A and B are shown apart, each in its own frame.
Chain A
Amino acid sequence: MSALLEVKHLSVTFETPQGNVHAVQDVDLTIERGSTVGLVGESGCGKSTLGRAILRLHPRNASVQGSIRFAGRDLLALPPREVRDLRGRNLAMIFQDPMTRLDPLMRIRDHFIETIRAHDPTVEKKEALERARKVLADVRVPSDRLGMYPHELSGGMRQRIMIALCLLFKPALLIADEPTTALDVILEAQILELLRSIMKEYNMAVLLITHNLGLVAEFADRVAVMYAGHLAEEGATIPLFREPRHPYTQGLLASVIDLETTQLYSVPGAPPTLLGRSEGCPFYPRCEKRMDVCKTVYPEMRPVGDDRRAVACHLY
């Protein structure tokens, strides 16, 4: 059986008055059914743009090239009507800021009714509410919350409701764009635990977009590391964390605080601007192992080692 999601040579370019911004460049990504892929990188590296492009949520001034095959269909070639129906039904997305993702003027129950009717216009209110109660039970939210307005609920509760809205149609893939960044650690653990049990129950794959390496280590089967719009390294989580190959991944992992020495490493320099096209390796200016070739030749992703790892670096 083929993979659930196969992204090939995906590039997203924003046309701005200052020039073209290459937010995502030539990225390949595969997600198997029921598996979790962590997409990590620092702010502005294009990981959220990639997530949005999968749902075709990118703004008008973005052009998207490449292919995104979801369950055998190329999302970029589908007519908008069909993409719309896939959203929320087969492909769902939750966001970083649960506080502002629910319409403040709409009761929770109406969010559910609207979502169900968007896909099934004939469903009666009563039946829609019945379905809402079922998914709310799955995300451990008491069903009396249905009568409330979003401002009456906490951030964690709202994120659970967002997840419940996504679960209504049992999607095969959930894109979680920093789902716990706005929540405190205890809620973060709860939400992740919830996601994990739901994945099992619904046989759902998750693309977890985050800058939190701990989260990925705990949660993801595979990891993709992004830098400046490019993929730097991709592989199974545990081997990749044990033995990072790409100098950027090494730096990123070293940036996690070491409790023995309480030293904090930071990757020198700042990420490059994505405005305009650059030659060579995007990490070149900050890399501690740079070579002459890195300055002029872009390193393609190549399989390295024997653990189904791919790295974009001239060292290998």
Chain B
Amino acid sequence: MAGWFARGRTSLVGRLLGTFIRQSRTVAGILVWIGLAVILAILVMGILAPFIAPFDPNTKVGATELPPGGPFVMGTDRAGQDVLSRIIWGARVPLAIVAVSTTISLAIGLPLGLLSGFAGGRLDRVILLVMDSIYAFPGLLLAIAIAAVIGRGILNISFAIAVVYIPTYFRVIRNHVTSVKQEPYVEAAVALGMSRTRVIGRYVFPNVAQNIPVIFSVNAADAILTEAGLAVLGLGLPPGIPDWGFDISLNWQRFDVSWWATFFPGLFILILTTALTFVGEGLNDILNPLLRKKEQAAVAEA
């Protein structure tokens, strides 16, 4: 099945995909498939929101706090808005924020990690120190601080979350680079006259790239929780944009009366983060079998 693929793959993406397809029948592969299916479903839900949502998410469409049933499948909330419609529209927010924030984190963390790891010496120590001080800060607290300073909006929230996760990308890439640059083939490449940029771009980067999808999916789950946390604390998006985290903050104090208005948004946050974690953990197993073995050995020793 993977034969046609193995023949033509030269690119990095092709290589990663090839590994993935060959592993797709293992437990890890199945986890990834389930996760991807769920994420895709939520994505489609968000994109098709105008067509599938039964009501406008931002207007009072019925009595307040109606239990699930009748025209309101998941009931209505304190403001008399349809919970289901808000959930359908709300799917857009976490996905947009994940996409934007991880792109920013990656765009800054990856090059810094490559540079710092490869250059070593004083430059490495300075960058490490800066990154460590960001990392040492509790993530949510840092995001709160940044969000409070730069204000609301999808881009602003994404940026606040991105800053929190830059050190994760940086660290994993940087540490892997420090070991890859010791590899004999890197010295051989230098001995053949390669420039620094060529060595990093063609020899080092492809050998550390396997980390990216793993950090990406693990961070994505975390980013959604951080976004929801910001929303619950009132630092989320401006009102008018349906958002699962905002819905929780609006309704949780009335949980004993209208549990559905809090429960369903929470459930969807849980489903989406679990799906992302499935993808992350599954990819980690598939793309990093060596790492896995080392971890197991360490556990066995301890």
By a CB distance below 8 angstroms, the chain B residues around A166 are 192
Closest to B202 in A: A114
A118 in contact with B198 (CB, 8 Å)? yes
Least distance between B150 CB and chain A CB atoms (Å) = 40
Pick from A103, A104, A115, A162: contact of B193, CB below 8 A. Answer: A115
A115 in contact with B192 (CB, 8 Å)? yes
By a CB distance below 8 angstroms, the chain B residues around A100 are 183-185
Most buried by B among A86, A92, A103, A162: A103
B120 in contact with A92 (CB, 8 Å)? no
Closest to B10 in A: A107
A103 in contact with B185 (CB, 8 Å)? yes
B206 in contact with A88 (CB, 8 Å)? no
A21 on interface, CB distance cutoff 8 Å? no
Q: Could you name 15 residue pairs across A and B whose Cβ atoms are closer than 8 Å? A: A84-B193, A84-B195, A87-B190, A87-B191, A95-B184, A100-B183, A101-B185, A110-B202, A114-B189, A114-B198, A115-B192, A118-B193, A118-B194, A165-B192, A166-B192
Interface of B is mostly: helix
By a CB distance below 8 angstroms, the chain A residues around B185 are 100-104
Least distance between B288 CB and chain A CB atoms (Å) = 14
B194 in contact with A162 (CB, 8 Å)? no
A95 and B188 in contact, given A60-B120, A114-B194, A114-B198 (Cβ under 8 angstroms): yes
Least distance between A177 CB and chain B CB atoms (Å) = 10
By a CB distance below 8 angstroms, the chain B residues around A106 are 202-203, 206
- Interface mask (A209-235 → B, CB under 8 Å = 1, otherwise 0): 000000000000000000000000000
B178 on interface, CB distance cutoff 8 Å? no
Closest to A55 in B: B191
B56 on interface, CB distance cutoff 8 Å? no
Distance, CA A170 to CA B288, complexed state (A): 40
Most buried by A among B187, B206, B207: B187
B3 on interface, CB distance cutoff 8 Å? no
A97 and B184 in contact, given A105-B207, A114-B202, A118-B198 (Cβ under 8 angstroms): yes
B15 on interface, CB distance cutoff 8 Å? yes
A118 and B195 in contact, given A57-B187, A95-B184, A106-B206 (Cβ under 8 angstroms): yes
A residues sitting closer than 8 Å to B (CB atoms) are 55, 57, 60, 84-89, 92-93, 95, 97, 100-107, 110, 114-115, 117-119, 162, 165-166
Q: What is the total number of residues of chain B having a CB less than 8 Å from a CB of chain A?
A: 21
The 8 closest A-B pairs by CB, nearest first: A88-B193, A88-B192, A87-B193, A100-B184, A101-B188, A93-B191, A103-B185, A118-B194
By a CB distance below 8 angstroms, the chain A residues around B191 are 55, 57, 87-88, 92-93
By a CB distance below 8 angstroms, the chain B residues around A165 are 192
Least distance between A49 CB and chain B CB atoms (Å) = 13
A119 and B193 in contact, given A97-B184, A100-B183 (Cβ under 8 angstroms): yes
Closest to A61 in B: B121
Other A-B pairs, 8, CB within 8 Å; known A88-B193, A102-B188: A55-B191, A60-B120, A87-B190, A101-B185, A103-B185, A105-B15, A114-B198, A165-B192
Distance, CA A55 to CA B206, complexed state (A): 26
Closest to A88 in B: B193
By a CB distance below 8 angstroms, the chain B residues around A110 are 10, 202
Closest to B180 in A: A103
By a CB distance below 8 angstroms, the chain B residues around A93 are 191
Closest to B192 in A: A88
- Interface mask (B183-218 → A, CB under 8 Å = 1, otherwise 0): 111011111111100100011001100000000000
By a CB distance below 8 angstroms, the chain B residues around A118 are 192-195, 198
Q: Which of B13-48 contact A (CB under 8 A)?
A: 15
Distance, CA A107 to CA B300, complexed state (A): 36
By a CB distance below 8 angstroms, the chain A residues around B190 are 57, 87
Distance, CA A55 to CA B184, complexed state (A): 15
By a CB distance below 8 angstroms, the chain B residues around A115 are 192-194
B121 in contact with A162 (CB, 8 Å)? no
By a CB distance below 8 angstroms, the chain B residues around A86 are 193
Distance, CA A207 to CA B183, complexed state (A): 24
By a CB distance below 8 angstroms, the chain A residues around B192 are 87-88, 92, 115, 118, 165-166
Closest to A115 in B: B192
Distance, CA A104 to CA B187, complexed state (A): 14
A162 in contact with B207 (CB, 8 Å)? no
A162 in contact with B188 (CB, 8 Å)? yes
By a CB distance below 8 angstroms, the chain B residues around A88 are 191-194
Least distance between B50 CB and chain A CB atoms (Å) = 45
B10 in contact with A105 (CB, 8 Å)? no
By a CB distance below 8 angstroms, the chain B residues around A55 are 191
Least distance between B105 CB and chain A CB atoms (Å) = 25
